[in-house]
């Protein structure tokens, strides 16, 4: 856990340094994945939405427009300078510095949780605990009201994979990026790779207890997966 916390602190320091240029650099690469993710999210006015890892606020601004004044939009990030940039993008937003593994919200607080290009920064051993924390803050399904559980939308740097992709028995080949990531000292990963590598998150989403899990792969810009699920 100490190593994991040190890794998260290193990521926060790196993204503080990147904050002044991250938005411009990432916007083009992430456009296809984000656009498709927002389509799948189908945000409705009046919903309660949490964005984890707001970055420089480009998606946060779009979520705010879709929610309108009747909705509640909350955003968290570990890097203070990223939050400062987002505050300029969405001055009326509710933003807080928080660790995604320990979200400062009550159970069942949100209708939708959005996280884009976060899981590709997270070590495999932390993915299931992280996703369980995401599930905790989403609303529960109601048989009385006839409503489904809260929705999860993830957009991740990824690669195309078969039905068993991401599982130990899949026998999939590593990409050159993944091989370089694995041999790079941990302290340098945030600065050389932005901390990210392609991930296949669907098995972790299922392991965290989510239902109605669907995955879509999008190529163009940064190869990405869009995963949707319900609590």
Q: In this predicted model, what pLDDT tens digit does every residue of 138-154 receive, in sequence order? A: 999 987 766 789 999 99
Q: How many residues does the chain have?
A: 231
Phi and psi torsions of 80, nearest 5°: -55, -40
Q: What pLDDT is stored for residue 162 in this prediction? A: 47
Residue ranges for the chain with pLDDT beneath 70:
1-28, 145-146, 161-195
- Residue pair 52/30 in contact by the 8 Å Cβ criterion: no
| pLDDT on residue 81 | 87
What pLDDT, on the 0 to 100 scale, is given for residue 39?
Answer: 98
pLDDT at position 184 is 46
pLDDT value of residue 148:
87
CA 79 to chain centre: 15
* Amino acid 163: pLDDT: 42
**70, two tokens:** 């009747």
Please, what CATH class does the domain formed by 2-230 belong to? alpha beta
Q: What are the backbone dihedrals phi and psi of residue 27, each rounded to the nearest 5 degrees, phi first?
A: -55, -50
CA distance 112 to 54: 14
HSE-up of residue 226 (Cα within 13 Å, Cβ side): 18
135-140-143 Cα angle (round to 5): 150
Question: Tell me, what's the pLDDT at 76?
Answer: 98
Say what the pLDDT of residue 29 is.
76
Q: How many CA atoms lie within 13 A of 229 on its CB side?
A: 24
């Amino acid at each position: 856990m100490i190593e994991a916390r040190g890794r998260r602190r290193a990521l926060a320091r790196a993204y503080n340094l990147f904050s002044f240029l991250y938005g411009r650099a990432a916007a083009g690469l992430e456009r296809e994945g984000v656009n498709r993710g927002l389509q799948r999210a189908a945000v409705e006015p009046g919903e309660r939405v949490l964005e984890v890892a707001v970055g420089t606020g480009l998606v946060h601004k779009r979520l705010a427009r879709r929610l309108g004044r009747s909705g509640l939009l909350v955003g968290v990030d570990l890097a203070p300078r990223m939050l400062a940039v987002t505050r300029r993008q969405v001055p009326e937003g509710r933003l807080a510095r928080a660790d995604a593994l320990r979200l400062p919200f009550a159970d069942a607080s949100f209708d939708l949780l959005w996280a884009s290009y976060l899981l590709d920064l997270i070590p495999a051993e932390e993915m299931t605990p992280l996703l369980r924390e995401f599930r905790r803050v989403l609303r529960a399904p109601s048989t009385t009201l006839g409503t489904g559980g809260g929705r999860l939308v993830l957009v991740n740097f990824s690669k195309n994979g078969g039905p068993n992709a991401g599982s130990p028995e899949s026998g999939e080949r590593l990409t050159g990026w993944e091989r370089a990531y694995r041999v790079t000292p941990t302290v340098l990963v945030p600065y050389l790779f932005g901390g990210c590598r392609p991930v296949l998150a669907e098995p972790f989403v299922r392991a965290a207890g989510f239902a109605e899990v669907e995955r879509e792969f999008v190529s163009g810009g940064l190869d990405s997966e869009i995963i949707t699920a319900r609590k």
